Structure 1
Amino acid sequence: MTRVVIIGGGPGGYEAALVASQLGGEVTLIENDFVGGSAVLTDCVPSKTLIATAEVMTEVTDSEQLGLRFGDGGPESVSVDLAAVNERVLGLAKQQSTDIYEKLVADGVRIIIGAGRLDGPETVVVTTEAGEERIEADAILLATGAHPRVLPDAVPDGERILTWTQVYALDDLPEKLIVVGSGVTGAEFASAYDALGVDVTLVSSRDRVLPGEDADAAQVLEDVFTRRGMTVLGKSRAAGVRREGDGVVVTLTDGREVTGSHCLLAVGSIPNTADLGLETAGVEVDEGGFIKVDKVSRTSVRGVYAAGDCTGVLMLASVAAMQGRIAMWHTLGDAVQPLDLKSVSSNVFTAPEIATVGASQTDVDTAEVRAVGVTLPLKGNARAKMQGIQDGFVKVFCLPLTGIVIGGVVVAPRASELIHTLAVAVHARLTVDQLAQAFTVYPSLSGSLAEAARQQHLHAVATVRS
């Protein structure tokens, strides 16, 4: 039996523990808080639960065009009890953590609540309330995650200046929220609180929101933000945040000041790699402190693996989980395929959502890949018209000669569900003809994916004929 020790109980850690136990390993999981990690307790599960409430508010606000009437108060008469919302958010997170814990115990995983560190490449030292314990291991997985980055002159106080892990302590909606950072986290929270009725100002250091996403998709989202009344400050970098009475003042690098009741910092993450004994064990990290790994999650030290946000490899819960599984498949001798980032699908949970997979528009524009793209606005889709969807599109990329689907973008409500069709096509190397010939329900938003594929086919036929 192989002795496996895992430090960190987030998606990378607990998924690895389940795989290792099912493959016959003797598994010990070390977690210094609650099983599930930040993804379950302070990040993915809580934020998407909050966003679920925001989605309902967005649907209510936009429903008058569908013929619904709300009396004298209109849609604005619908209010949000933030204390109740956050109570539900934290309750669901706790329940999810408990479910994962019970699953691990049922599968024979030993769970230790404490702080783990390496003492060489084959030993882990755990510090708990009862003292220290040394555990010898044949394989070690580091899955310690990351924590919010803060600015030197913007120290969170948990009351008015907040990180995304602290917003669930609020009992009342902010009167005026300033979100610093327009990446995925910043855009999601800005979108959610805007839908809940908060006056939101989004401070973006770049010329547009979501600089790492498809430019066409980001433009749609920014247009929606502006139309709904959000203030978006582009090319505006925050220098600091300070408390002033019952509010906050955000100072920009150009000297301007923005005032609000609360400030949410969403300026990136820092890996939890300090005090892990990495240097002693010889585990290499990059200049940002992220653990270096290869495509089967191996570090620079034999027998030591790493997974999740502490590696900086596409900081997604799904990627962390796959890295953890791959590590265990590799070390325990099961069939394994290296991590393929070209088949990873991701989603930005804004309104509308933005989902992507595979090759991007940037890849095509820079000739990194030679591909043909077709974009289809959703406003021509029958189901979109029925649901009152005004914004969004689908975009499909394929290789010019073979027609193999290599990527795509979906901007729509529930894009996170629609993208799976393209993810399967990319993973299985399906052609646009195969995608087009598969039946879709009429009417449905997914019908636009098939229509885009049909247009790809027509483009190919026209190219051949010319």
Structure 2
Amino acid sequence: MSYEFERKQRLAILGGGPGGYEAALSGAQLGADVTLVERIGVGGSAVITDVVPSKTLIATAEASNAIGEAADLGVQFFTRGENGRPVRPQVAVNLQAVNERLLRLARQQSEDMKAELIRSGVRIVQGHGRLDGPSRIVVSTGGGTGSTDFDEIEADTVVVSVGARPRELDSARPDGERILTWTQLYTLKTVPDHLIVVGSGVTGAEFASAYTALGSKVTLVSSRDQVLPGEDADAARVIEDVFTRNGMTVLSKSRAESVERTDDGVVATLTDGRLLHGSHCLLAVGSIPNTSGIGLEEAGIQLADSGHIRVNRVARTSVPSVYAAGDCSDFLPLASVASMQGRTAVFHSMGDAVTPIELRNVTSNIFTQPEIATVGWTQKQIEDGVAQGEIYKLPLAANPRAKMMGIRDGFVKIFARTGSGTVIGGVIVAPKASELIFPLALAVEHRLTVDQVARAFTVYPSLSGSIADAARAMHIVN
């Protein structure tokens, strides 16, 4: 008597960032034969050179800032001088030690993720991979793209999660020493005397905020009317006010034409002819998807003009057997979205229950000081008539816990559907806003009304109490 066993579904993943990692775990959980191809290490650039190290640096900056502001709470630091009198010490940042720590943490996170994949039965192939049609990945495993050592991986489903890299300017070529992209900052051994940041989007604003707290003189070059263009206008205004109050120079409606290295620093030439002299320059002018030269178009996969892979709400490309997740796709470039795309892609490809991703429900956070967290519809969309909603804003300074903590800046803002009071969005500007936004994210996801949010108990005193207070102020009279 003979038995026929159904062959396991073969899942091949190109790129081990957040999207690829979650796709691999999900595939293993559903019983697939999973192979992950990664070039630099599990976690990809998000873990090794981007999100993990940058947010670790920002955490250090927050600690430095907290020490500097402790005097406002009545906490003062003194040492005794030679004459026995108290002397206030300076807060010193050992940037080399900071960078060594954050790179060590990033590498450890990568190793932890790798160990989890191995425990789950995922096969990991290290090398440069490319598609050879819609159902095969060819991997150069000999240490370079020109290697003659290859591994061929056949698959029923392919997930592409190759990420993106910093965009460079022809007139401002990074050298890794004075002119830097955000992946190169971690080689610095001392805090820059004067850091020029070109670009006032999320990345530029986050690093400008962090290096100001670490003690650098910072000049932020913004091509728009305000920093963080496209974000909530009230939130951006708060952040810009904090920046300038902390000594940062913000140059609005300015654009860098070129950046060149000098004998002892850099000089940035603006389009209006002004010259900016600094010790270092950070280029934060966007990113480019790593989609060229990996066989996508040859496999019939449709790309946007920007080079991003076009996907639908279940992360499927124009080729049914190929999915894409993360910054290489034309979805929202967030690690949390990449992870969700990776899981959704695998669940969909293997016939499991799946809920298509709704970008309107995605929470995002900007790790400035204070942070900006958002979810759902925006105030501009409501004012432009795209969504019908009411707006309520509550300054955080009125919150008793905020007063105790010495918090002066920030607010809670809720958007609720006109008539029903259903929460459709919100903005929080506060220290650790990334932790405070979750109740509003739940409200948006599950279509809770402001009255339902207000009925939930909050701790007194707490910053989250302002969320309930704002919801209570929007009560719908029946």
Unpaired segments of 5 or more residues in structure 2? 1-7, 79-85, 143-147
Structure 1 stretch 63-72 or stretch 333-342: which is displaced more?
63-72
One-letter amino acid of the counterpart of residue 38, structure 1: S
Q: Deviations over 1:86-123 (max 9, x none)?
A: 01100000000000000000000000001111111111
User: Corresponding residue for 1:15?
Assistant: 22
Match runs of 1:292-441 below 5 Å: 292-441=310-459
User: Corresponding residue for 1:92?
Assistant: 105
Indicate yes or no: 2:186 matched with 1:162. Answer: no
User: Corresponding residue for 2:131?
Assistant: 118
Which aligned runs of 4 or more in structure 1 are off by greater than 6 angstroms? none
One-letter amino acid of the counterpart of residue 195, structure 1: A
User: Corresponding residue for 2:236?
Assistant: 218
SS in structure 1 of the partner of residue 437 of structure 2:
helix
User: Corresponding residue for 1:151?
Assistant: 169
Shift of 1:52: 0.4
Paired with 1:73 and 1:407, the residues of 2 have a C-alpha distance of 49
Indicate yes or no: 2:196 matched with 1:178. Answer: yes
- Normalized against structure 1, the TM-score is what? 0.97
Indicate yes or no: 2:280 matched with 1:262. Answer: yes
Shift of 1:189: 0.2
Higher helix share: 1
User: Corresponding residue for 1:58?
Assistant: 65
One-letter amino acid of the counterpart of residue 64, structure 1: A
Paired with 1:414 and 1:133, the residues of 2 have a C-alpha distance of 45
Shift of 1:73: 5.2
Indicate yes or no: 2:207 matched with 1:189. Answer: yes
SS in structure 2 of the partner of residue 140 of structure 1:
strand
User: Corresponding residue for 2:117?
Assistant: 104
Paired with 1:69 and 1:5, the residues of 2 have a C-alpha distance of 57
User: Corresponding residue for 1:230?
Assistant: 248
User: Corresponding residue for 1:241?
Assistant: 259
Paired with 1:52 and 1:145, the residues of 2 have a C-alpha distance of 24
SS in structure 2 of the partner of residue 402 of structure 1:
coil
Match runs of 1:18-57 below 5 Å: 18-57=25-64
One-letter amino acid of the counterpart of residue 126, structure 1: V
Q: Is the 8 A contact 2:304 2:330 kept in 1?
A: no
Percent sequence identity over aligned pairs: 62
One-letter amino acid of the counterpart of residue 127, structure 2: G
One-letter amino acid of the counterpart of residue 34, structure 1: G
Shift of 1:70: 2.1
User: Corresponding residue for 2:83?
Assistant: none
One-letter amino acid of the counterpart of residue 280, structure 2: H
One-letter amino acid of the counterpart of residue 108, structure 1: G
User: Corresponding residue for 1:445?
Assistant: 463
User: Corresponding residue for 2:295?
Assistant: 277
Paired with 2:260 and 2:119, the residues of 1 have a C-alpha distance of 48
Count matched residues. Answer: 459
Partner of residue 252 from structure 1, selected from 252, 270, 281:
270
Paired with 1:240 and 1:41, the residues of 2 have a C-alpha distance of 29
Q: Cα RMSD over matched residues? A: 1.0
User: Corresponding residue for 1:77?
Assistant: 90
SS in structure 2 of the partner of residue 434 of structure 1:
helix
Paired with 1:312 and 1:95, the residues of 2 have a C-alpha distance of 30
Change (3 A) 1:373 1:122: same
Q: Is the 8 A contact 2:37 2:125 kept in 1?
A: yes
Q: Is the 8 A contact 2:311 2:330 kept in 1?
A: no
Paired with 1:78 and 1:421, the residues of 2 have a C-alpha distance of 36
Paired with 1:186 and 1:313, the residues of 2 have a C-alpha distance of 21
Q: Is the 8 A contact 2:425 2:444 kept in 1?
A: yes
SS in structure 1 of the partner of residue 65 of structure 2:
helix
One-letter amino acid of the counterpart of residue 391, structure 1: D
Unpaired segments of 5 or more residues in structure 1? none
Change (3 A) 1:73 1:276: farther
Paired with 2:205 and 2:398, the residues of 1 have a C-alpha distance of 27
